[in-house]
A and B are shown apart, each in its own frame.
Chain A
């Protein structure tokens, strides 16, 4: 028999929705992802080019 929801309990907000409702977490993700994959990875590639003799 399914459990009845207690109307006194506040509605549970799904995890994904909580992520989307946190602007500072989104800001963190939106800066870190391109910084790692585009900037840092790219800088490492350029920095490891051997210097011409």
Chain B
């Protein structure tokens, strides 16, 4: 039975079932991002003290909806789509157990809707962390559990597809690096979901009265195995997306397959341990546990990120130099396609993730200097650099790549798409930098009123903190505008975009397969006969990338200077003499 089609523009093979599942997961992700973005506006306009838009109850409700939709639903729906793409399309394999994959998707939808309904009803404004003994409605927890079960099914469908591809010899040798990165994301997801099950099932039983007590310290420890590791799935997924975009746009191959795969192995072994930095000021847990998990082990994961941060732009530089862009250190970068949102989104994501997200992450993971900023607004500033720019912008760039290839539609309002990565990243960077500053001055995260109006224990922040939060507010509004631009382009493309295939109608944009005749290949070309795309193959490109090494040295200098400034600051706020 014919089940594959080949995209005439990109050469990618699409399995009929996998294609529909990628589309519906991507659409569900975009809907989650819409909810998250609307709520983001409420949050940022409340934290901007001069505006102070929402009353306290609505603020915490909006913050809960923003956090869960942005950090869980948007990201994981999109990651499931990426996993199906990496296993089925890049390996030219049929998808394993498509009915199970649909069942998983339905469970994820039911879970996401149930959880959102619980928060909208107003009695589950417990924020994403839902720390016990704060209690939400039972369907808040049940929604998360159903969503996690659905995502777990998606992970096993991905693993099953790897097995099928190997059995049916759709590829030769090792799986491509992008698929290996998706495997890394899948493995971290399994650990994450297991932690979620360990803590959320008892919490659900507690919410319906079957268990009378949840230990707060135990909850925090295990919950962060879910809460922070879920963001590590993102890191593995967006690094894979970077390699994918570099391969598709430039035909770039990794500088060294061995080094890049070893870096992913370091993620598999150690990245989840970074969850420990949330527990650094918790009493009852020893320094040995804290020091081991946040330094000796976590730095190996940081090393892996630094390797990817070097090899991804390095592979682009090698590919560009091979095309003759060899003048000086940076001709390859100056003459890169900056007006293509796929490239600009990818490269801005990489730079901001490394320079801001990476450096602040190490500062937060260092037990001593973490004390300066623990639980301040510095923390959301850090994870907006990693997740909102690093991951979300990379996923946005991938969407621009996949709309013509997967959905067979041309981009709607391409001039808006060209500007979108710049508007989004400029807004985010402004917001992040000033939130980092405000956090260093002690401004709390998740706090409705900086003025402490009517509080028994009052506190007065310096005027600079108010200015910084106001500038962060302006940046946040700009970032929301960037998010709106993304949704206008993507939804507009699916509905109004020029059809690149006559049969790519409205319903096909939302998951219905193209007409049966489009899938006219029963088995993808066997490996030796097929012209392989760079991202479907393996092989190293070498280390001739002086411009990238200069960028890496700039990152190192920034890191060293910022790290020592923090130690100096610690000595002034906490004199030991």
Contacts and interface: CB of A to CB of B under 8 A. Distances in A.
Interface of A: 17, 20-21, 23-24, 26-27, 29-31, 33-35, 37-39, 41-43, 45-46, 49
A9 to B, nearest CB: 17
7 contacts: A29-B269, A33-B272, A34-B273, A39-B225, A41-B289, A43-B218, A46-B221
A46 B215 contact: yes
A34 B218 contact: no
Interface stretch (B23-31, B57-65, B69-77, B183-191): B183-191
B194 A46 contact: no
Given A38-B272, A39-B195, A46-B284, 9 more contacts: A23-B187, A26-B268, A30-B272, A31-B190, A35-B191, A38-B293, A39-B198, A45-B289, A46-B285
Residue from A31, A34, A37, A49 with most neighbouring chain B CB atoms (10 Å): A34
Contacts of A49: 217, 284
A38 B285 contact: no
Interface in B259-313: 261, 265, 268-270, 272-273, 275-276, 279, 284-286, 289, 292-293, 297
Secondary structure of the B contact surface, majority rule: helix
A38 B217 contact: no
A26 B188 CA distance: 10
Nearest to A39: B225
Sorted nearest first, the 9 A-B pairs with minimum C-beta distance are A30-B187, A34-B272, A30-B268, A42-B221, A49-B284, A45-B285, A31-B191, A33-B269, A46-B217
Interface of B: 159, 162, 174-175, 180, 183-184, 186-188, 190-191, 194-195, 198, 215, 217-218, 221-222, 225, 229, 261, 265, 268-270, 272-273, 275-276, 279, 284-286, 289, 292-293, 297
Nearest to B284: A49
A42 B289 contact: yes
B270 A33 contact: yes
Contacts, number: 84
A20 B174 CA distance: 9
B187 A27 contact: yes
Nearest to A33: B269
A39 B219 CA distance: 11
A40 to B, nearest CB: 11
A3 B293 CA distance: 48
Given A42-B221, A43-B218, A49-B284, A17 B174 contact: yes
Contact of B273 (A17, A29, A38): A38
A46 B273 CA distance: 17
A30 B225 CA distance: 13
A40 B115 CA distance: 29
A46 B225 contact: no
